Structure 1
Amino acid sequence: MTPIKKLDIFITKNFLTLLAGAFFVCLFVLMMQFTWRYIDELIGKGLTMDVFAKFFWYMALSLIPQAMPLAILLASLISFGNMGERLELLAMKTVGVSLLRIMRPLIVLMIGISGASFYFQNVTGPYAELQLRTLLMSMHESAPALEIPEGIFYNGIPNINIYVKHKHNETGMLYDVIIYKTDQGFNKAQIVLSDSAKLEITADKKFLVLQLFNGEQFENLQTGTSNQIRAYVPYDRETFNYKKFIIDFDSNFNVLDANAIGNRPESKNMKQLVAGIDSMTVHGDSLGMANYDFISREGDLGPVPSFNYVGYFPMVGNPAMNPSGGIIGDEATLSNNPDSFRLAKEKQEAEQRKKRNAEGEKAIKSFKAREAKVIAAARKIDFDSLVASLPASTRAQIVGHGHEISQQIMTDLEWQKYETEDNELMIRKYHIAWHEKIIVSLTCLIFFFIGAPLGSIIQKGGLGAPTVLSVSIFILYYIISTSGMKLAKEGTWEVAFGMWMSVMILAPLGAFLTYKANNDSVVFNPEAYRRLIHRVLGLRTRRHVARKEVIVYDPDYISLYERLGILAERCREYNDKKKLWRIPNYLNHFFYPQPDHEVENINAEMEEVIEELSNSKNAKVLYELNRFPVIFASAHVSPFANAWLNRVSGILLPVGLFLWFRMWKFRLRLFRDMKQIVSSCQKEREYINEILPQTDIKLEK
């Protein structure tokens, strides 16, 4: 067993301190966001502090699995960023400690946290979710606190709209009151006008007592919902000095039964989810069988014939018989008997099955013959003339009856479709909840393998860059996860693929960053990525030759003059021989590539000439050197130096087509580059003649 070292204690202590702070910050942010979503259910209900305490407690328990991955990502980024910024990582690597060795105690810790997160989601999380949703539903159903405003109609009392012009806060008296009562329906609404009123609640908080003083009550006496316009509508008018209404108004907070929302997949553990999926699958199969029987009975609504075979062949259509003729219940019973008895029984059953099959085949042939005769006779009937011979009233009855039957069948089919789709949706939701419990706990480990190496790469601590990076990565994870979950819930994708898509994307990212950071590879170097993009897209690279401050040896212009002439001639011959403008052969370049040694030699010779001429002090010579092209000697032959990579890219046709066009582009570029080399060689020879006018060297035209 490896002993725990001081380095491990130091790293773990540093990380846990940051993890605790980041966790509570993330949990607080998520709780505030959740509270804001349900602020209407909390405000104005007269809830007590114990109800609020339960609400926030269960909300915190429900949001812990969501806060933990973000906290781990943020803490690992800050922790390793701080160590990189303080050069602690550099000191550890200097003495031979690799990044994976530095991460080892935290990896063990992350595995433990991931396991604890999974256990929490499977045991504590469902209970907390159930209690939280029960509280939210209870808050939604509870009556609002009675606080009647001035100058507007208040509809917080059931079946009553009340308007108060002015109220006295000390005595509780209401003045200039207008009341609309709709407890008997809108057609018999009652209007009450009162000079003053007083509203009180009973001691048990179940009823409101509304006392009215000096007013009138109007009631519509017209009954029914007739739209007939009348000149006068009868109504009742009552004048009173005192009137009292007792209104049913339960202002107590009553927690609903948790079983009302017990079927939510979020409130179940994995064992209950599997049991629910099995029961819903069986229910879906029974719905399918019921729909099958329904369509079979409705004749032409499906491909299943409506003839009844049972009368001719007892085994067909009997649900107690299996397809081979045996009785399912008997076989299940025989499986529990001793082997000898079961074998004897099976032998007897096989003989009976043979006999029944022979009789069944004979009965089916006889039935099909009679069926063919009936169909042939039906085809001879002219239904148009038969319908035309019926009386008009009979035809109307037939059409009406057929319309009613079709409408009823359509309604039944729509209901069956809804029931089937709803059952399939619930099955998918249960599958999503099952996968989510594993994925969220696994995300804790993945985020650590993203945050720790990323922090060691950027080497920046504090709350600046790490916070921005962690939030950006978490938003990316949230978008991918939410999109996959949505498509899985809709049935567009398989549930497993949609739910695990975020893991399939982020896990390779974590492995890549860990590999790069452990090998001290450059990850965030813009120049390296720019060169890679240039190379992939085949963008041209320009040559940069500047005048040297110190020149040890001057160029040998005489020998260079001859070498430039030879180089130009070789480029002309190469262009004439290779025909680079032609379309490259796909198979040859991907599966049988041949190296172009001639271009390699030309390129090597050109680079030697340029290197020697770069020692010149002449500005024209140096300027013309920059016009020599940079040649990729093998880009026009094959996309990769590795043979198996060429074959794989050639088989993957979209990739192969892109690389094939790229090779063609390099062939055309090489054709132009050879011409440019010839032109630049001639210019350089002219400049050399200007530098050495006293020699006998003459430029060949």
Structure 2
Amino acid sequence: MKILDRYILTSFIQTFASVFIILFFIFVLQAIWLFIAELAGKDLDIWLIIKFLAFYAPKIVPLVLPLSILLASIMTFGNFAENYEFAAMKSSGISLNRAMRSLTIFIFALSIVAFFFANNVIPKAEYKFINLRKNIIQRKPAMAIAEGQFNAIGNFNIKVDKKSGENGEKLSGVTIHKRNPGASYATIIRSKTGLLKSNDKSNLLQLELFDGYYYEEVNSKNPVERQKQPFAKSSFSKQVMNIDLTMLNSNDMDDEKIANTNTMLNINELRYTLDSLETNYTKESKSIADNINQRYNVTLNENITSKNIGLIDSSVVKNSMPKNLLDLVKDEKDKVRVLENAKNNINSSEFFMVSGKAQLFDKTKNINGHWLALYEKFVIAFSCLLMFFIGAPLGAIIRKGGLGLPIVFAVLIFIIFHFINTFGRKLASENGIPPFLGSWMSSFVLTPFAILLTYRATNDKGVSINFDWLTTPFEKLFKSKSKEHK
């Protein structure tokens, strides 16, 4: 390796390492703020919190790594241009392409490492992270409930006045609001004491309540009775409630992901799962279509051709059938019954088709989520190269190093990249566009920009943007105002 290559590579690595550590620390603080409700006031030891953050940290790397490469590239090449080091290189016959050669090899190797990291490390860390959250609650069930505030767990809102016992499993002054999905009213349960129990092998948290009351609103169909707000009240000496702990794992940063399982799989596992999901989807759609045909008593005859249809005498059918089919029924009561049956059949068929469509749509979203997780592993590797070929020529063009202007450009470009990526993933998960396009949309948009910057930087053309069309009217206005004032 030549001295120049070693100097450029050392300068970049030093800047990249410092930027990566700072950004990584900032994103970890964001994670602490996100899960502050689970970590604060739960009597967790410091080792458990470190383990909690260590399992969460790998999923931050896909965000921090491209941004760090972008910012480090702008700062490094900006410093070279600002200190006239590029001018010295060019006077010695060394072009920008030659100066970028060693860093290009380094970034390419780093993108390969990022791919294997996303394929092997992140899925295992995600699996351990989610199971750690569940195990913490199972070992310390009182952690799921904080004192003096309502804690949302699934369909329950639980509040306790005081916790006691070795692990805080003994509760006093328990208030529970239970709301069923789609219901406009809630059930209120109050008890003097309670006891939390859990099992390491179960996802259920058992809550035993003692000496309490049960209040439930009565949903009357009569509007007059509904205005009186009737309710039912009952008392109990002991009541057992089961709470599903999997609801506590739904607080995830990436809300557009359909299921947590797709982030725990590598490429081979994703391909195997996708094959099973698509086969299941094909069978399910065929089953729904067959059921619809059976409901309408439709029999498909593949031997019917247009010639056979033409043999039917339409005039005979027209003369034998009345214009109104109800004319075939003479009794008025029978006509009403026939209309009611037809209406019920239509409503039943409509409900069946709507529910079948919704079921297939959920399966499609699940399949799209797995495709997005598969493509994302390749997008992470490509984004490292993309950000380098945006940042390096941009730093050479703007000729500014340090932490001022480079941060502005880096944050602006990364926000555009992240926004397009999030928009594409969300649109693809809702089956608006193919998952491939949703995952690679940000790369497709910014790749021409990277090519343009690299071309202009290597040919010493720079980037000139003319804002005269915007500033000229304001200059004329200010000049006219100053003349009037004089």
Q: TM-score by structure 2 length? A: 0.72
**Gap change, CA 1:375 and 1:463, over 3 Å in 2:** farther
Q: Given the alignment of the two structures, is residue 24 of structure 1 paired with residue 39 of structure 2, yes or no?
A: no
What letter corresponds to residue 448 of structure 2 in structure 1? Answer: P
Structure 2 partner of 1:15: 12
Structure 1 partner of 2:413: 473
In 1: Cα distance, 2:25 partner to 2:347 partner: 55
Q: Which of 109, 112, 132 is matched with 2:109 structurally?
A: 112
Q: Which of 493, 496, 515 is matched with 2:455 structurally?
A: 515
In 2: Cα distance, 1:50 partner to 1:81 partner: 42
In 1: Cα distance, 2:216 partner to 2:68 partner: 67
What letter corresponds to residue 266 of structure 2 in structure 1? Answer: N
**Gap change, CA 1:405 and 1:119, over 3 Å in 2:** same
Contact 2:145-2:159 within 8 A present in 1 as well: no
Structure 1 partner of 2:361: 421
Deviation at 1:262, TM superposition (A): 7.6
Q: Deviations for 1:150-209, whole angstroms, at most 9, x for unmatched residues?
A: xx99999x8986669xx99xxx9xxxx9776899x99896776xxxx9x99999999999
Deviation at 1:249, TM superposition (A): 10
Aligned Cα root-mean-square deviation (Å): 4.9
Q: Deviations for 1:364-402, whole angstroms, at most 9, x for unmatched residues?
A: 68x957994799447613264754753333233322222
Contact 1:153-1:163 within 8 A present in 2 as well: no
In 2: Cα distance, 1:202 partner to 1:491 partner: 42
SS in 2 for 1:264: helix
Structure 2 partner of 1:266: 263
In 1: Cα distance, 2:49 partner to 2:395 partner: 39
What letter corresponds to residue 11 of structure 1 in structure 2? Answer: I
Contact 1:148-1:154 within 8 A present in 2 as well: no
SS in 1 for 2:298: coil
Deviation at 1:444, TM superposition (A): 0.5
Q: Deviations for 1:481-510, whole angstroms, at most 9, x for unmatched residues?
A: 222323333333333333323222322222
**Gap change, CA 1:454 and 1:396, over 3 Å in 2:** same
Q: Deviations for 1:417-463, whole angstroms, at most 9, x for unmatched residues?
A: 11222222222222222222112211101111111122122222211
Alignment of 1:456-467 (within 5 A): 456-467=396-407
Q: Given the alignment of the two structures, is residue 84 of structure 1 paired with residue 53 of structure 2, yes or no?
A: no
**Gap change, CA 1:513 and 1:283, over 3 Å in 2:** same
Contact 1:446-1:507 within 8 A present in 2 as well: yes
SS in 1 for 2:100: helix
In 2: Cα distance, 1:291 partner to 1:83 partner: 65
Q: Deviations for 1:59-110, whole angstroms, at most 9, x for unmatched residues?
A: 1111112211111111111112222222222222221111111111111100
Deviation at 1:7, TM superposition (A): 1.5
What letter corresponds to residue 36 of structure 1 in structure 2? Answer: W
In 1: Cα distance, 2:137 partner to 2:54 partner: 18
**Gap change, CA 1:37 and 1:387, over 3 Å in 2:** farther
In 2: Cα distance, 1:385 partner to 1:378 partner: 12
In 1: Cα distance, 2:261 partner to 2:414 partner: 27
What letter corresponds to residue 25 of structure 1 in structure 2? Answer: I
In 2: Cα distance, 1:234 partner to 1:246 partner: 17
Q: Which has the higher contact order (CA 8 A, sep 6+)?
A: 2
Contact 1:114-1:442 within 8 A present in 2 as well: yes
In 2: Cα distance, 1:209 partner to 1:161 partner: 14
Alignment of 1:225-240 (within 5 A): none
Q: Given the alignment of the two structures, is residue 489 of structure 1 paired with residue 429 of structure 2, yes or no?
A: yes
Structure 1 partner of 2:349: 409
Q: Deviations for 1:274-322, whole angstroms, at most 9, x for unmatched residues?
A: 22332222223223322332343344xxxxx92364xxxxxx5xxxxxx
Answer with 1 or 2: which has the greater Rg: 1
**Gap change, CA 1:516 and 1:430, over 3 Å in 2:** same
Alignment of 1:545-556 (within 5 A): none
**Gap change, CA 1:248 and 1:143, over 3 Å in 2:** farther
Contact 1:284-1:423 within 8 A present in 2 as well: yes
Bigger shift: 25-34 or 62-71?
A: 25-34
Alignment of 1:333-412 (within 5 A): 368=308, 372=312, 376-377=316-317, 380-382=320-322, 384=324, 387=327, 389-412=329-352
In 1: Cα distance, 2:61 partner to 2:82 partner: 31
**Gap change, CA 1:95 and 1:128, over 3 Å in 2:** same
Contact 2:147-2:159 within 8 A present in 1 as well: no
Structure 2 partner of 1:444: 384
**Gap change, CA 1:46 and 1:298, over 3 Å in 2:** same
What letter corresponds to residue 283 of structure 2 in structure 1? Answer: S
Q: Deviations for 1:506-528, whole angstroms, at most 9, x for unmatched residues?
A: 2222222222222222324x5xx
**Gap change, CA 1:371 and 1:275, over 3 Å in 2:** farther
Deviation at 1:254, TM superposition (A): 13
**Gap change, CA 1:189 and 1:17, over 3 Å in 2:** closer
Q: Deviations for 1:636-684, whole angstroms, at most 9, x for unmatched residues?
A: xxxxxxxxxxxxxxxxxxxxxxxxxxxxxxxxxxxxxxxxxxxxxxxxx
In 1: Cα distance, 2:459 partner to 2:445 partner: 22
Contact 2:175-2:188 within 8 A present in 1 as well: no
In 2: Cα distance, 1:467 partner to 1:234 partner: 62
Count of aligned positions: 436
Q: Which of 62, 68, 73 is matched with 1:71 structurally?
A: 68
What letter corresponds to residue 26 of structure 1 in structure 2? Answer: L
What letter corresponds to residue 435 of structure 1 in structure 2? Answer: Y
In 2: Cα distance, 1:31 partner to 1:37 partner: 10
What letter corresponds to residue 306 of structure 1 in structure 2? Answer: V
**Gap change, CA 1:117 and 1:388, over 3 Å in 2:** same
What letter corresponds to residue 48 of structure 2 in structure 1? Answer: V
Alignment of 1:135-214 (within 5 A): 135-136=132-133, 143-144=142-143, 148-149=147-148
Gaps of 5+ in 2: 181-185, 250-257, 471-486
Structure 2 partner of 1:546: none
SS in 1 for 2:31: helix
Q: Percent identity?
A: 28
In 2: Cα distance, 1:109 partner to 1:221 partner: 67
Contact 2:70-2:388 within 8 A present in 1 as well: yes
Contact 1:154-1:162 within 8 A present in 2 as well: no
Structure 2 partner of 1:97: 94
**Gap change, CA 1:509 and 1:248, over 3 Å in 2:** closer
Deviation at 1:111, TM superposition (A): 0.6
**Gap change, CA 1:377 and 1:222, over 3 Å in 2:** closer
Q: Given the alignment of the two structures, is residue 505 of structure 1 paired with residue 445 of structure 2, yes or no?
A: yes
Deviation at 1:45, TM superposition (A): 3.9
What letter corresponds to residue 368 of structure 2 in structure 1? Answer: R
What letter corresponds to residue 392 of structure 1 in structure 2? Answer: E
Q: Given the alignment of the two structures, is residue 291 of structure 1 paired with residue 283 of structure 2, yes or no?
A: no
Bigger shift: 401-410 or 140-149?
A: 140-149
Contact 1:154-1:163 within 8 A present in 2 as well: no
Q: Given the alignment of the two structures, is residue 58 of structure 1 paired with residue 55 of structure 2, yes or no?
A: yes
Gaps of 5+ in 1: 212-216, 239-243, 300-304, 310-315, 317-360, 535-701
Deviation at 1:42, TM superposition (A): 3.0
Q: Which of 28, 33, 36 is matched with 1:36 structurally?
A: 33
Q: Deviations for 1:101-143, whole angstroms, at most 9, x for unmatched residues?
A: 1111111100100011111111112222233344456678854
Q: Deviations for 1:249-281, whole angstroms, at most 9, x for unmatched residues?
A: 99x99999xxxx986322222222222332222
Contact 1:42-1:139 within 8 A present in 2 as well: no
Q: Deviations for 1:214-244, whole angstroms, at most 9, x for unmatched residues?
A: xxx89699999889899xx999999xxxxx9
**Gap change, CA 1:386 and 1:82, over 3 Å in 2:** closer
What letter corresponds to residue 445 of structure 2 in structure 1? Answer: I
In 1: Cα distance, 2:206 partner to 2:377 partner: 46
